[in-house]
């Protein structure tokens, strides 16, 4: 049985393999689909919906949707881009994202997506919700103001670290990341060397005492847009 | 033909964005050939004197005076540009937004560890503008036409935006000039 076939993304025919997701196939072909909760080392959960593409007329999360022979996919169309922009805007107004003093600025994937989309200000009113900051751990700061509920830390702790430090608790707007400990992060078995420490796409989980080792202006997304590493595969 | 007029103001900001505007260095000589400044901290004119082409807004609105100034700008400027993170998203002053106003005032004037105020007086002179319940980005108070984020936006960003606006070209910032930090 032949397990490779063709799919079409924005009119371009690319090769895909049985068992790949749309995102895997697109990455391999040098087509970048924006994403936040997805990470190459973690099982995808399709939670943030930033990777939404239109497959044969229906919106689907590219990180979880398996490829099928002859799929026709819209990725870079005004409607899809607007949908993604709306999600990014919502993340900015639903948290307290103060980039000017955030240690993650320049390495932050949420900020990088906003740069890539050319967002100068979100379209929605700012919520300024009240969030907690947990500095109890000697080496790690947990700042819920910046959390976007991607659950990368939850999955990294379970899948990569063999621990179970984080869980999401609550529903809807009140959903947040909780820790499996007496009270705070310092009560858990989290270690600074855990993958869960560095896998946070935003500045919610921050390693202490390394803040500005790489100066602002020389960070990952200061010069090149997020996704350009994928696009370089097949320029 | 008279030159287009540009008005600028700093509301709930730190003047850092105006400092960044001065950071265009010798290009300010070119700017002066292109425009005349109307109301601005640069020339200390207190009110807009005539119709302006562009109004530059630094800072959001934290008190009623900020709102009045912003409304004066909207009324008298063809194009309003919010520049800097405070104008576009509230910035540092907006950190008080999830703390009740009364708690903020008590911390500043009554309970703060370095405060000496035995009578517990809170400044209430009618000359002092009343604080708003929250700090609002400029576009939540009046319509804003363009946004230039950054803390502050770099001199190159401001220069690119101003020259594009004044020559009637679309404001299309290159990747390196759009920054939130």
Residue A231, chain B, CB below 8 Å: the answer is: no
Would you say residue B30 has pLDDT above 80?
A: yes
CA distance A203 to chain B (A): 13
Chain B contact set for A99 (CB, 8 A): 85, 151, 180-181
Contact A120 B139 (CB under 8 A): no
**pLDDT at B70 > cutoff 90:** yes
CA–CA gap between residue A89 and residue A129 (Å, rounded): 15
A52-76 pLDDT, tens per residue? 999 999 999 999 999 999 999 999 9
pLDDT bracket for residue A235 (50, 70, 90): low
Domain A4-76 is in which class?
A: alpha beta
Task: Tell me which chain B residue has its CA closest to the CA of residue A96.
Answer: B95
Please, which pLDDT band fits residue A96 given cuts at 50, 70 and 90? Answer: very high
Residue that has been written with the tokens 């430090």 in this structure: A165
Ordered by start, the domain boundaries in chain A are: 4-76, 123-221
Q: Does A100 touch chain B (CB under 8 A)?
A: yes
Q: Is residue B125 within 8 angstroms of chain A, CB to CB?
A: no
**A-chain residues within 8 Å CB-CB of B147?**
120-121
Burial class (CB in 10 A: 0-12, 13-18, 19+), A172: exposed
Q: Which residues of A touch B88 (CB under 8 A)?
A: 120-121
**Average pLDDT score over residue span A30-49:** 97
pLDDT at A199 over 60: yes
ipTM: 0.93
- A117 close to B (CB below 8 A): no
- Please give, rounded to a whole number of angstroms, the shortest distance from the CA of B160 to a CA of chain A: 15
DSSP string covering A204-227: SEEETT-TTSSPTTSSHHHHS-TT
pLDDT in tens, A107-131: 999 999 999 999 999 999 999 999 9
B88 Cβ under 8 Å from any chain A Cβ: yes
Identify the band that residue A1 occupies on the pLDDT scale cut at 50, 70 and 90.
Answer: low
The domain defined by B5-95+133-177 folds into Rossmann fold (3.40.50)
Q: Residue A232: pLDDT above 90?
A: no
* Residues in B 18-57 with any Cβ partner in A closer than 8 A: none
Question: For the structural domain made of A123-221, what CATH number should be given?
Answer: 3.30.70.20
Residues of B in contact with A131 (CB under 8 A): 98
Confirm or reject contact between A96 and chain B (CB < 8 A). yes
Reduce the DSSP state of residue B81 to 3 states and report it: strand
Closest by alpha carbon to A102, among A219, A225, A183, A10?
A: A219
In this prediction, residue A99 carries a pLDDT of 97
Nearest to B161 by CA among B46, B16, B27: B27
Q: b or e along B86-120 (b: 16 or more beta carbons within 10 Å of the residue's beta carbon)?
A: bbbbbbbbbebbeeeeeeeeeeeeeeeeeeeeeee
Q: Is residue A234 predicted with pLDDT exceeding 70?
A: no
At A136-162, the pLDDT tens digits run 999 999 999 999 999 999 999 999 999
Higher pLDDT, B108 or A2: B108
Q: Provide the pLDDT confidence category of residue B62 given band limits of 50, 70 and 90.
A: very high
Q: Where does the pLDDT of residue A217 fall: very low under 50, low under 70, confident under 90, or very high at 90 and above?
A: very high
């Amino acid at each position: 049985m032949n397990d490779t076939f063709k799919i079409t993304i924005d009119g371009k025919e690319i090769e895909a393999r049985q068992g790949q997701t749309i995102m895997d196939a697109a990455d391999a072909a040098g087509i970048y689909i924006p994403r936040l909760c997805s990470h190459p080392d973690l099982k995808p959960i399709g939670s943030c919906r930033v990777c939404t593409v239109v497959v044969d007329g229906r919106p689907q999360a590219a990180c979880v949707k398996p490829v099928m022979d002859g799929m026709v996919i819209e990725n870079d169309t005004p409607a899809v881009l607007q949908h993604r922009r709306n999600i990014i805007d919502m993340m900015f107004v639903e948290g307290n994202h103060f980039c000017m003093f955030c240690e993650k600025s320049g390495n932050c994937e949420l900020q990088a997506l906003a740069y890539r989309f050319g967002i100068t200000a979100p379209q929605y009113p700012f919520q300024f919700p009240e969030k907690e900051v947990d500095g109890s751990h000697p080496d790690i700061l947990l700042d819920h103001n910046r959390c976007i509920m991607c659950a990368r830390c939850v999955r990294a702790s379970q899948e990569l670290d063999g621990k179970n430090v984080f869980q999401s608790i609550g529903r809807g707007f009140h959903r947040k990341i909780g820790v499996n400990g007496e009270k705070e992060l310092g009560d858990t078995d989290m270690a600074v060397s855990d993958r869960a420490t560095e896998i946070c796409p935003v500045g919610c989980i921050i390693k202490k005492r390394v803040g500005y080792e790489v100066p602002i202006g020389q960070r990952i997304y200061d010069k090149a847009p997020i996704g350009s590493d994928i696009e370089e595969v097949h320029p | 033909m008279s030159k287009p007029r540009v008005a600028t103001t700093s509301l709930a900001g730190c003047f850092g964005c105006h400092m960044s505007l001065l950071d265009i260095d010798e290009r300010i000589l070119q700017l002066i050939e292109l425009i005349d400044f109307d109301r601005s901290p640069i020339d200390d004119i207190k009110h807009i004197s005539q119709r302006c082409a562009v109004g530059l807004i630094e800072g959001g609105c934290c008190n009623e005076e900020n709102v009045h100034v912003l409304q004066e700008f909207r009324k008298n400027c063809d194009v309003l540009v919010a520049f800097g993170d405070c104008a576009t998203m509230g910035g540092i002053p907006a950190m008080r937004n999830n703390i009740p106003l009364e708690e903020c005032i008590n911390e500043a004037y009554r309970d703060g560890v370095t405060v000496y105020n035995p009578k517990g007086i809170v400044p209430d002179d009618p000359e002092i503008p009343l604080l708003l319940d929250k700090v609002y980005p400029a576009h939540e108070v009046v319509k804003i036409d363009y946004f230039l984020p950054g803390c502050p936006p770099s001199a190159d960003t401001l220069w690119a935006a101003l020259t594009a606006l004044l020559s009637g070209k679309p404001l299309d910032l290159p990747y390196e000039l759009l920054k939130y930090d």
